[in-house]
Structure 1
Amino acid sequence: MRPLLLLFIILPILEMWVLISVGEEIGALPTIGLVFFTAVVGLALLKRQGISTVMRAQQKMQMGELPAKEMAEGIFLAVGGVLLLTPGFITDVFGFICLIPGIRQLVLGRLLSHVVVVHGAHTGYQQPGGQGADPRSGSAGHEGKGPRNVIEGDYKREDPDSEHKSD
C-alpha cells in the first residue's frame, strides 16, 4: 500500500516540477497548449485503438474463443486514456505507452506471459459415495491426506434407450 501512496504523492510533485520547468523554457501558454494537444491526440488514438480492440474481441467471441488478450488491452487503453487526460508530461508518456500498439503489445506480452487463463467453470462433481462437492474447496472426501488429482474434461450424457428405439 505504501508504494501506491508514495506514487500518488510523488507523481503530482514531479508533474508540477516538469510543467514549471517546461513553462520557464517555452512559456506558460505554449506549455498549456502542449498539454491540451497531447490530450486531444491521446483521445483520438484511444478512440481508434479502442474500436479496433472491441472488433477483435467480438471476432474471437464469435469463434468461441476467450478474448483474454483483448480484455487486457482494454484495461491498458482505459488506463492510457486516463493518464493522457491527466495534465502533465510524465503521465502523458505512460499514457502513450498504453495506447501505441507496438509498445502496448510488448508490455502486454511480458505481463501476460505470467498469467494463466483458465477456460470454463467448475460447478462441482459427484463423488462415488453420492455426495456432491466443489473440487476447489478441499472438503467432502478430502481430509488433508495430501494432494488430490483432479482430471478435468468434458462429458456428454446419452440416453442408452435412444439407440434401441425405432422411428
Structure 2
Amino acid sequence: MRKIFLGFIVYTLAELTLLIVIGQNIGVLSTLLLIIATSVIGIYVMKNKGMNSVQNVKNTLARGEAPGAALVDTFLTFGGGLLLALPGFLTDVLGLFLLMPFSRKMFQPIVYYWMRKKMKKGQFIIVQR
C-alpha cells in the first residue's frame, strides 16, 4: 500500500512539474488549450475507435475464433484514449504510445501476460452468448 501511495505522489509531482515547465515555455493559455485539446481527442478516440475495436471483438467471436488479439487491441485502444482524456502531459505521452500501431506491439506482450495471470486466478473470464 505504501508503494502505491508513494508512486501516486511521485507521479503527481512529476505531472505538476511538467505542467509548470511547459506553461512557462509556451504560456499558460497555450498549455491549458493543449490539455483541453488532448482531452477532447482522447474522448473521441474512446468513443469511435474504442467502439470499432469492440465490434471487431464481436465479429471475431461470431466467427468462432478466439478473441485474444482483438481483445488486446481493444484494451490498448481504450486505455490510450482514456490516458489522453486525463489531464496531464505524462498521461498524454503514454496514451499516444498505446494508440500508435508500432509502439502498441511493445505493450501487447505485457497485456497478454496480465490476462493470462488473471485467467489462471479465475479473475478474468470471457463469456460468449
1:1-167 residue pairs with structure 2 within 5 A? Answer: 1-109=1-109, 111-112=111-112, 116=116
Larger relative contact order (Cα-Cα within 8 Å, sequence gap ≥ 6): 2
Which residue identity does 1:18 align to in structure 2? L
Which residue identity lines up with residue 67 of structure 1 in the other structure? Answer: P
- Structure 1 runs (4+) deviating above 4 angstroms are 113-117
The offset of 1:35, in angstroms, is 0.6
Give the Å deviation of 1:48: 3.5
Cα deviation code 1:33-92 (max 9, x no counterpart): 011111122222333321331222122111112212222233323332332222110111
Please list every run of 5 or more consecutive structure 2 residues that lacks an aligned counterpart in the other structure.
Answer: 118-129
Shift of 1:5: 2.4
Distance 2:109 2:13 in 1: 31
1:33 to 1:107, Cα distance in 2 relative to 1, 3 A: same
Shift in Å, 1:116: 5.0
- Cα 1:82–1:2 shift into 2, 3 Å: farther
Which protein is richer in helix relative to its size? 2
* C-alpha RMSD of matched pairs (Å): 2.4
Structure 1 residue ranges without an equivalent (≥5): 118-167
Answer yes or no: is the 8 Å Cα contact 2:83–2:92 preserved in 1.
yes
Partners in 2 of 1:52 and 1:79 — Cα distance? 14
TM-score (norm. length: structure 1): 0.59
Size of the aligned set, in residue pairs, is: 117
Identity of aligned residues (%): 32
2-structure distance, mates of 1:73, 1:3: 29
